[in-house]
Amino acid sequence: MAGEARAGDEFDVAVVGGGLVGIATAWGLSREGCRVVVLDEGDRAVRASRGNFALVWVQSKGLGLAPYAGWTIRSSNAWQGFSDLLKQETGLDVSFQRPGGFHLCLSEKELEARANVLKRLHAQPGIVDYKTEILTRDQVKVMLPDIGPEVVGGSFCELDGHVNSLRLFRTLHTALNARGVTYLPSHRVESITKEGGEFRLTTTQGEVRAAKVALAAGNANMRLAPMVGLDCPMKPERGQIVVTERLRPFLNHPVVTLRQTDEGTVMIGDSKEESVDPSGLTIGVSATEAERAVRQFPLLANVNVVRTWSAIRVMTRDGFPIYDESKTHPGAFTVCCHSGVTLAANHALTIAPMIARGALDAPLVAPFSARRFHVQAAG
Amino acid sequence: MFKRLAEKGPAIAITVDGRKVTARVGDTVAAALLAAGIDHCRTTPVTGAPRAPYCLMGVCFDCLVTVDGVGSRQGCLIPVREGMKVETQLGRREAGR
Amino acid sequence: MIAAADLASSYELVIIGGGPAGLAAAALAARAGVSTVLFDENPGVGGQIYRAITSTPVADRAVLGQDYWDGAALADEAKASGALIVNGATVWSLDRQRLVGVSVGGKARMIEADRVIIATGSQERPFPIPGWTLPGVMTAGAAQTALKAQGLVVDGRTVMAGSGPLLWLLAAQTLRAGGTIDAILDTTPRRNWLQAMFHLPDFALSPYFAKGLALLREVRAKVPVHRVDTMEAVGNDRVREVVFSGAGGTRRLPVDLLLLHQGVVPNVNLANAAGVAHVWNDRQLCFVPVLDADFGSSVPGIAVAGDGAGIAGGTAAAERGRIAAIAAVRALKPDAVVPDTQAIRQRLQREEMGRAFLDWLNRPADSFRMPEGDTIACRCEEVTAKQVRDTAKMGCEGPNQMKAFLRCGMGPCQGRLCGLTVTELIAAERKTSPDEVGYYRLRPPVKPITLAELASLPISEAERKAVER
């Protein structure tokens, strides 16, 4: 329920962050019977959840940290059930589909590079076995009949899918609202202390107290984590997306850089810039994305672009998730990752129950502790 | 809904969904449709509701039509040309058109 | 016809919009020796007030009135000044570095400017009543455009509804052109007079006073006028009747054409996308850019002149354009001879004098700005007032989060027809001010361009590498 947190309100868990990671975790906590408060920023917050690409994506995941592949597949496999649960609760369909997805290549050089990445990824010791095929142009064309003449081939993974991420955002908020979870927008958390066995979170609009705290504030976790004895090194980057008007369905599979939403719009883009100014937008980057999109699917040439936007990606320093519990401040957790859509099912159905129980399950999430950064630093 | 003050200026022949319509020099596509008494020029991509030109000044995008095979053109900003083919746009636009 | 390829890669001054502000600014700057280009998306210059001033088929000068024909001098002056005037040119992007994205004839270009004057004027305020999306419901401004540009006059059963000077002007022009109007539904809340009265002395001295009275007399003599508190357009595939209620109870009138108008508001999209700071104006019930005395905005080198700077009418718009142009000339060519600003400011002041009265008198009722229930707030995405209100109740604090949740403002009009409604609905639900709620954060393209146009723009190596990795 939106509104005023009443003095003396006691919460089991305060979730810091009202983006997809925060609200998926909060929803999972609520299902476990926890009394949850979500602390969020306002309408103009830098908000990755409003700028993401909405893939539920498996291929390419795990190069450099093999367990990440298994963790991603776990979420991909849980996604249908997750979306069914949300639909039961809210009546809203987040349009999850897993038809398999493509990475398309516009030159032999790109295709060779792609094949090498996949070879290195799947050769890693301990990597879960899943199939990503390199397909020839002709093989791609069977499934994507509208590809342009410059497409030489690509990779395909049948575990890849997508979702309507803005509807997911709305659906989770709707579900939280129906569950009576307290949602406090414009409550930016300034400091967190632990006194007398409870956490006190000082916000721009007063103090909130809770027995546990889950940091799910994206890049802001870097600022918040040290307040509770945690570490969350981030390396935010800017991405830009181009979106078209609504079109009749023409694309049955998501491509990593181009997908058609259930509403008909086509989202294009996968840029990466070091700038962290969310208000800036580089036309030349949008132009490159548009140019590649037209080469991939020439029938899009005359389609109208109705929006472009840039958003700041939540990115940990090595790109992999960070899940941690504090040694010095028991009851404080970090839930932080880039892929808040793909991993939403895990956050709701796996991480949240762990936080509700008060301890992370080491066999599942130990590889994702931020301690890995210190080990590397020492080595 | 509208009539011409005077049938002045050279006539321009266009087609609307294949039907012949006489427009005048100085007409935009949207104005020509209104003068011809065409009731709606598109149906919405969301619910399929019929829409007709609303603002005639380029802000509302309700006069979107297919012009010479290209979809989602703002009818109120495009001057008519001899032989122009205007089509009602039904729901979502088709990619490639 | 000027093609995109004919444009230089940079101009000292880029003016966007060919209404009175843009035309006056272009004429002044070009005469002072500044390399000036004016982009206007319509087939001819004039903006809305002087729409089709160089081409109108309406020969009888009495129909549109002398105020309209005064615009011809502005157009002539601009044409003679040496400014490059490009019609059919849609500006879809402007950034803080004054890089202008423009499309002409389906070809896009990026143009650098030392100074920019945004003169994109105003648009009609959204009028979200039940049934306002039905064919046969149009804005009064649309009917006026059709009259000016194509000599089209209303035909069949016609009702005009709303408030504000333009509604009465259109009614008079329609009657002079031989059109008939079945009724005028006046939505001006009676209590507006209380606030407006304070400003009557100023208005009585302004040029609009006598003109306004004459218009009212001219129209009232021929058309029944009903004072209304509620209004609905009814029909299935098109509007069939208008249902309204006032002191005399509920009535229904069969209509072929319902023309709505409740004032005009600044067209903020381009300025907003360029990062120009805006503030809520409670008297005019809209966002206006924050500007200095020379109409310079919060973004260095970008000015906003004309009604885009806050509504003041066509004559004031031209004076504002001149003031903005003088500032640009002084910055670019300090030695150039420019007219005396003081005299212009005095004329502007005289024009703006009666504005407070008109604003307070014609301030639309809450119920016509903040609808309830299934009335559509966002025409493009067909989002209802109830959805917006319910989502605000859920804790959605602002229009950008609302956009993410409901897609309002995400359609092709990019919030032009729902932005103010959504902001005001959220403010009402949150019991706070529209200024606190804020507006959509807009991004280029502020007008649609094709993917191929976007793809054709210059790309640096770094920009390519940001995508091809």
Banded model confidence at residue A1, pLDDT cuts 50, 70, 90:
very low
Q: How far apart are CA C363 and CA C284, in angstroms?
A: 7
- 8 A C-beta contact, residue A256 and residue A221: no
CB contacts of C63 in chain B (<8 Å) are: 5
- 8 A C-beta contact, residue C159 and residue C167: no
What digits encode the pLDDT tens for the residues A103-138? Answer: 999 999 999 999 999 999 999 999 998 999 999 999
- 8 A C-beta contact, residue C426 and residue C396: yes
Q: How far apart are CA C211 and CA C222, in angstroms?
A: 17
The tokens for C238 are 């098109």
Confidence at residue C205, expressed as pLDDT on a 0 to 100 scale: 87
The tokens for A9 are 């309100």
Would the pLDDT of A224 be above 90?
yes
Report how far Cα C113 is from the mean position of its chain's Cα atoms.
24
Closest partner CB to C145 (pick from B57, B64, B72): B57
- 8 A C-beta contact, residue C397 and residue A183: no
Q: How far apart are CA C147 and CA C345, in angstroms?
A: 33
What number is the average pLDDT over the span A144-165? Answer: 98
B74 to chain C: nearest residue by CA? C448
**Which of C454, C457, C464 to mutate against chain A (most A CBs within 10 Å)?**
C454
Banded model confidence at residue A379, pLDDT cuts 50, 70, 90:
very low
- 8 A C-beta contact, residue A193 and residue A208: no
Banded model confidence at residue A280, pLDDT cuts 50, 70, 90:
confident
What digits encode the pLDDT tens for the residues A32-78? Answer: 999 999 999 999 888 888 888 999 999 999 999 999 999 999 999 99
Which amino acid is residue B51, in one-letter code? R
Confidence at residue A3, expressed as pLDDT on a 0 to 100 scale: 43
Provide the residue ranges of all domains of chain A, joining segments of one domain with +.
11-52+166-233+319-378, 101-158, 237-313
**DSSP 3-state of C35:** coil
Banded model confidence at residue A7, pLDDT cuts 50, 70, 90:
very low
Averaged confidence pLDDT in chain A: 94
The tokens for C56 are 């109108």
CB contacts of A304 in chain B (<8 Å) are: 72
- The residues on A that touch B, with CB distances below 8 Å, are 146, 245-248, 250, 264, 266, 297, 299-300, 302-304
Q: What is the largest CA-CA distance in chain B?
A: 40
The partner residues of A37 in beta bridges, in order of sequence, read A14, A182
CB contacts of A264 in chain B (<8 Å) are: 45, 92
Distance from CA of C346 to the nearest CA of B (A): 31
**DSSP 3-state of C115:** strand
Specify the CATH class of A11-52+166-233+319-378 in words.
alpha beta
What number is the average pLDDT over the span A185-197? Answer: 95
DSSP C51-101: TTTTT-----HHHH-HHHHTHHHHHHHHHHTT-EEEESEEEEEE-TT-EEE
Would the pLDDT of A2 be above 70?
no
Distance from CA of B83 to the nearest CA of C (A): 18
Q: Do C455 and A293 touch (CB under 8 A)?
A: yes
Cα angle A30, A36, A41; round to 5: 120
Q: Which CATH number do you get for residue B38?
A: 3.10.20.440
CA atoms within 13 A on the CB side of C45: 29
Q: How far apart are CA A368 and CA A339, in angstroms?
A: 14
A377 to A57, A221, A328, A373, C33: CA distances (angstroms): 30, 20, 21, 6, 63
- The residues on B that touch C, with CB distances below 8 Å, are 1-6, 8-9, 24, 26-28, 31, 34-35, 39-40, 44, 46-47, 49-62, 64, 72, 76-77, 79
CB contacts of A291 in chain C (<8 Å) are: 455, 459
- 8 A C-beta contact, residue C83 and residue C73: no
CB contacts of C40 in chain B (<8 Å) are: none
Report how far Cα A75 is from the mean position of its chain's Cα atoms.
11
Q: Do C42 and B58 touch (CB under 8 A)?
A: yes
Q: How far apart are CA C179 and CA C241, in angstroms?
A: 19
The partner residues of C66 in beta bridges, in order of sequence, read none
Residues 369-398 of C with CB under 8 A from A: 391, 393-398
CB contacts of B70 in chain A (<8 Å) are: 302
Domain C4-123+265-338 in CATH 3.50.50.60: yes
Confidence at residue A9, expressed as pLDDT on a 0 to 100 scale: 65
The tokens for C442 are 């807009």
Confidence at residue A343, expressed as pLDDT on a 0 to 100 scale: 98
CB count within 10 Å of CB C463 equals 22
Q: List chains touching B (3+ CB pairs under 8 A).
A: A, C
CB count within 10 Å of CB C170 equals 24
Q: Domain range for residue B16?
A: 11-90
DSSP label at C126? Answer: P
Confidence at residue A226, expressed as pLDDT on a 0 to 100 scale: 98
Q: Do B95 and A303 touch (CB under 8 A)?
A: yes
Q: How far apart are CA A227 and CA A355, in angstroms?
A: 18
Would the pLDDT of A148 be above 80?
yes
CB contacts of C456 in chain A (<8 Å) are: 287
Q: How far apart are CA C172 and CA A74, in angstroms?
A: 70
**Which of C414, C440, C451 to mutate against chain A (most A CBs within 10 Å)?**
C451
Listed as ranges, residues in chain C with pLDDT below 70 are none
Specify the CATH class of C370-437 in words.
mainly alpha
What digits encode the pLDDT tens for the residues B43-83? Answer: 999 999 999 999 999 999 999 999 999 999 999 999 999 99
The interaxial angle of helices C399-406 and C385-393, nearest 10 deg, is 110
Q: How far apart are CA A365 and CA C420, in angstroms?
A: 47
Banded model confidence at residue A264, pLDDT cuts 50, 70, 90:
very high
Confidence at residue A378, expressed as pLDDT on a 0 to 100 scale: 45
Specify the CATH class of C126-262 in words.
alpha beta
Banded model confidence at residue A376, pLDDT cuts 50, 70, 90:
low
Please indicate, yes or no, if residue B96 is contained in any of the structural domains: no
What digits encode the pLDDT tens for the residues B17-50? Answer: 999 999 999 999 999 999 999 999 999 999 999 9
Confidence at residue C274, expressed as pLDDT on a 0 to 100 scale: 96
Would the pLDDT of A209 be above 80?
yes
SS (H, E, C) chain A: CECCCCCCCCEEEEEECCCHHHHHHHHHHHHCCCCEEEECCCCCCCCHHHCCCCEECCCCCCCCCCHHHHHHHHHHHHHHHHHHHHHHHHCCCCCCECCCEEEEECCHHHHHHHHHHHHHHHCCCCCCCCCCEEEEHHHHHHHCCCCCCCCCEEEEECCCEECCHHHHHHHHHHHHHHHCCEEECCCCEEEEEEECCEEEEEECCEEEEEEEEEECCHHHHHHHHHHHCCCCCECCEEEEEEEECCECCCCCCCECCEEECCCCCEEECCCCECCCCCCCCCHHHHHHHHHHHHHHCHHHCCCEEEEEEEEEECCECCCCCEEEECCCCCCEEEEECCCCCCCHHHHHHHHHHHHHHCCCCHHHHHHHCCHHHHHHHHC
**DSSP 3-state of C266:** strand
Q: How far apart are CA C313 and CA C164, in angstroms?
A: 12
Reply yes or no: is the peptide bond before residue B50 cis, omega within 30 of 0. no
The partner residues of C39 in beta bridges, in order of sequence, read C16, C86
- Contact of B72 with chain A, judged by CB distance below 8 Å, is answered with yes
- 8 A C-beta contact, residue C295 and residue C341: no
CB contacts of A282 in chain C (<8 Å) are: 463, 466
ipTM value, please give it.
0.97
Please indicate, yes or no, if residue B19 is contained in any of the structural domains: yes
Q: How far apart are CA A3 and CA A9, in angstroms?
A: 13
**DSSP 3-state of C395:** coil
CB neighbour burial string for A320-352, b if at least 16 within 10 angstroms, e if fewer: bbbbbbbeebebbbbbbbbbbbbbbbbbbbbbb
Best CATH choice for the domain A237-313 from the list 3.30.9.10, 3.40.50.740, 3.40.640.10, 3.40.50.720: 3.30.9.10
